[in-house]
Amino acid sequence: MSRLNIRHSGIGMTSQRTRARMIERLRAQGIVDEVVLGAMSAVPRHIFVEEIFANRAYDDVALPINFGQTISSPFSVARMSELLRAGSSPGKVLEIGSGCGYQTAVLAQFAREVYSIERVGPLLTRTRTRLRELRLNNIRLKHADGVMGLSESAPFDAIILTAAAAHVPPLLLEQLAIGGRMVLPKGNKEQFLCVIEHNAQGYTETIVEKAKFVPMVPGIWKR
């Protein structure tokens, strides 16, 4: 069941029918987790893109969102969400890179709590307003350096990175609960989507498939 408290039906290229076609395309692309598909159906992607791109909101493409950032393609969001869930919904999730808030809103549909960090202050201000409009009360946003994670709220059942890291930030590994999993794109020129699982013996990493994301940048941008 959707946790959204208001309706964003849209018209034309932003209608519910257009969103339904996106879901069928995701199924055809191999997304099988119906909980993830339900979350993707519930969240109106067109309100997260710049107005100039509204008619492309449900195309399977990444789109620019200002400040050098992008909103990931629907398939990338669905794929990472499916890998993060792994058949069961996590209790507490940490997202590194709030961006425009679309992935955050999708996570909020099936996670009990979502903590999301964004380094770009002006972008986070816009995202906070957008998510407040959707009245999702299980999201906590913070302006901070994602490389550092959020130790005061750790451990997390799941951690997701929405930008590519050259190496896994060690502080994030420390904040992943035993039994938890991290999903991230990793690499520089060549990137791969990876899943890291934390068990009693340590960490195991699985390379899933090739990926293409903007690079992860340390530090905080306040302007």
Q: Which residues are catalytic?
A: 72
Nearest to 66 by CA among 84, 49, 41, 45: 49
Let me know: does 156 contact 91? Beta carbons within 8 Å. Answer: no
The single residue listed with the structure tokens 């009990």 is 112
Q: Report the run of H or E that residue 205 belongs to, with start and end.
A: strand 202-211
Taking CA atoms, 122 is separated from 99, 118, 167, 183, 205, in Å, by 10, 10, 27, 26, 34
Question: Does the bond joining 185 to the residue before it have cis omega, within 30 degrees of 0?
Answer: no
Nearest to 97 by CA among 123, 73, 76, 74: 123
Give me the count of residues in the chain. Answer: 223
Let me know: does 186 contact 165? Beta carbons within 8 Å. Answer: yes
